Amino acid sequence: MSPCALSDQALRRLLVEDVPFGDLTTESLGLQSRLGRLEFHARGAMTVCGVEEAVRLFELAGASAREFVLSGAVVEDGALLLSAEGSAAALHRAWKTAQTLMEWASGIASGATALVRAAAPVPVACTRKNAPGTKALSNKAIQAGGAIMHRLGLSETLLVFAEHRRFLDEPPSATIARLQTRQPEKKIVVEVASEDEALTWARSGSDVLQLEKFTPAALSACRMRLAAEGLFPVLVAAGGVRVDNAADYVAAGAAMIATSAPYSAAPRDVQVQFFSVG
């Protein structure tokens, strides 16, 4: 089994959030101890993610469960994803939380897969703009879809935005030199919004230029102008890259795609079937 992105403590919080004071309907019907089984099936093709967390949710609720695919699997319509057995109380306690988690995570994973395929062979890196509080599972989902992480947060990479530069009163070359001295093992990434900005920061020694909202044509023109001066920074296309135009950015010379698009992908549909046992 692939590791869970969420701890047992985090998964228990999800269960308590949905069932804070018992399951009123199941208990009122007197069904708590009735035995049953359920299955999760893919309704439509998808890249699966969150199956390990869903299995663990059922286990924490008091049922037994097993996965039939792992996160990252690409499945067709109708594929069996997991099954669970136990009391009606346990199955109903975990059912919706597990289903919703898998649908949401599989949506992100499937969105990442589509973009990765469209941009091949250039890597797709997803930004840190996941919904707040969802970083662990969001990161798992985009990697299940074949993408990589752009930045996990502010603590491990150097990325100089225009918003940083508003506070600087020095030439770009001085900024780059200070960063190289202060963080010699790190590559220096600078986000630019125009060809002239790209040229300025490339001349100053930037390792990577993040081209914000450049069209494919503008990226190509920028790359050729840089090459004419013997400058060959890594060019990252960021902002506005979609499945339908990713190949155009690759053809224009992007070495990587940086995007947050998979985080807003529509959830995938997981069908749940219940069976009474005995």
Question: Quick one: pLDDT band at residue 9, thresholds 50, 70, 90?
Answer: very high
| pLDDT computed for residue 277 by the predictor | 86
Average pLDDT, the chain: 96
Per-residue confidence (pLDDT) for residue 3, from 0 to 100 = 87
Segment 180-199 shows an average pLDDT of 97
Least confident of 16-20, 129-133, 173-177, 201-205: 129-133
List, by residue range, all CATH 3.90.1170.20 domains of the chain.
8-116+266-276
Which tokens hold the place of 99? 């289903």
| CB proximity list for 81: less than 8 A, separation 6 or greater | 39, 40, 41, 42, 48, 51, 67, 68, 69, 75, 102, 270
CATH 3.20.20.70 location in the chain: 121-264
- How would residue 153 be classed by pLDDT, with cut points 50, 70 and 90? confident
pLDDT tens, residue by residue, 15-65: 999 999 999 999 999 999 999 999 999 999 999 999 999 999 999 999 999
Is 1 a residue whose pLDDT tops 60?
no
**Which CATH code fits 8-116+266-276?**
3.90.1170.20
d(CA 116, CA 118): 5
Residue 128 near residue 99 (C-beta atoms within 8 A): no
pLDDT digits (tens, 9 = 90+) for 107-130: 999 999 999 999 999 999 999 999
Percent of the chain predicted with pLDDT > 90: 96
For residue 152, the model assigns a pLDDT of 85
Cα–Cα distance measured from residue 157 to residue 56, given in angstroms and rounded to the nearest whole number: 33
CATH number of the domain located at residue range(s) 121-264 in this protein: 3.20.20.70
Structure tokens at 229: 């001066």
